[in-house]
Structure 1
Amino acid sequence: MEPIIDRIRTKAEQLLNAKVDEIRKVENVPNNTVYKLWARNKPYIFKIYKQRNWPEDRKLLFVNRQLNEQQIGCAAIIEFDRNDPHFHTGYVLEACLPGKTADQIVFNEQTGLAFYEKLARLVSRIHKIPIPNFGYIGGGIAGYPSLVDFVSDEFDERAKNLINKRLFDTTSLLEIKNMVTDQLRLCDGHPSVLCHGDLTTKNVIIDEQGELTLIDWDDAMSYNWIADLSRMTYWMKFKYTADENKRYRACFMEHYTTDCRKSDFYQFENLFHVWIGLDFLNYYANRPQYEDTMRFFKETVKQLNRKQDR
């Protein structure tokens, strides 16, 4: 038996005060190492983090507490620990929710629309949870007074990585940054709220009754609501056909509710797609997906240019 399995078993049995009957590695999980285990006929997830500083300490417990206070379904966290000598990058042990992730289900037009209607209602509730300031949440108070300040710093970090990989030059990225920050100031009025950060079908559990629960809050941030939805619609561009994307996007926006002007989403979505695109270009560098990602990035920058020229 692998030493890591022994360590997981020992730790889980200590935390659950129960014998662990089975442990299986979950395959095809990017970034972190994930195992599913069973104790007293109940399933649990044991995730070992790749990075010592991500997700930031205290965030998952804070988010879990906020969701519970608002009676929004989530996986119960048994333990989050960054100080265990056997798991020096940290781990989380949490309950494994019943059901399937939505990416395992093949939707037809009717079931796909029903899914995005339910998802819109769920995300609307989550975006009602305020977070002081913008950026990394940590224990509950983010560190930037405005989204512009946060995006500006993040842009520099993403740009530096792209320049080091010789994918962009400094001048062109500075021009893009100036356009992004100039236009981002126009949506400064939108409040900072809890954002999931990765609204994709792999992070939505559907139970037997058809109810939805969001999982994997590692990427949760304090943004405005437009940023979170733009991250979702960016992913949808690559996931669905043009017709499917149009239908599902329209359905989601029809059932999403906010106290802000919903029309602002259509005004600023492309702006956020530019910023999000930089992140994906870094992630997909030297991978097959890079060309399509770059093609879409260039389209979004052109749209941003046209808006800047008006």
Structure 2
Amino acid sequence: MIRFGVIGTNWITDRFLDAAGGVDGFELKAVYSRTEERAKEFAGKHGVKQTFTDLEEMAKSSSIDAVYIASPNILHAEQSILFMNGGKHVLCEKPAASNTKELQKMIEAAKENDVLLMEALKTTFIPGFQAIRDNLPKIGKVRRFVSVKNQYSSRYDAYRNGTVLNAFKPQLANGSLMDIGIYCVVPIITLFGLPESIFAQGMLLETGADGEGTILFKYEEMEAVAMYSKITNSAIPSEIQGEDGSIVIDSISDPQKVEIHYRDGSIEDISAAQKGNTMFYEISEFVDSIVKGERESAKQSFQQSLNTMEILEEARRQIGIKFPSDDSQ
């Protein structure tokens, strides 16, 4: 069994643990929160007794082998390195870091301590995404990829009423691009590699966080566009357009319904059977990699995370999104 600790007691950690319950080899052993009351409340809900309010103490603990980090983005690098220096494997919620320099330091720490570091970005692990990859040749030469995720944040209601919550605080390395846009970027560069160039624009809120944005990707023989938002919803699916047909994807971050629409009007359903909580697949990959003695995931490699961060960083530069950690670069 791989004994896990979790950092973060919000909804994403609840969802993570719901999925982890079905993963062979996963065992929850400890919970961290800044307050003892919250730590005990969350631990009790998930049936564990050990809690921590001190991260350094937790990193040194012999009772855990690995940690899932779901704290604010700005803390990912610091906390990941602390635990890797303590000999713990780290599954870090996306985005793994605030910028490329932080991510490189995390990768160096993983190698120095001979532990597994993996970014918890579920899309590439999901059977629905694998179905897209496997069937891509059927649509001929690809000419355009429209990657869309617009998800109105419940925290934006508070923002509109004058209360700024973490989701819209750039000092925490949050905002639409990092929280939502990353889901649009990853499928593009996973399937087609890094582009020749990008052009990014977005709308900044009064806090300096971005509410929505668009990134154009230029390739030699095709183009791609990522459209994302935390301040609007959209019913538009994503689509990969080829010369012989198009792959229509209901949700780019969590493909459930995937169809090929051929030029002759016929439709082929290529949807894949999968778990309801698709975080299951990233957790399985992480646990399996540890069991096999691997120190880098083949499906979510260091280079894949670095490529993603390179695009996010350049897009932020063009849009004008600044994080505190950028000053140290």
Give the TM-score band, short-chain normalised.
under 0.3
Taking structure 2 as the reference length, what is the TM-score of the superposition? 0.26
Q: Say which structure is richer in strand.
A: 2
Q: Say which structure is richer in helix.
A: 1
Q: Which has the higher contact order (CA 8 A, sep 6+)?
A: 2
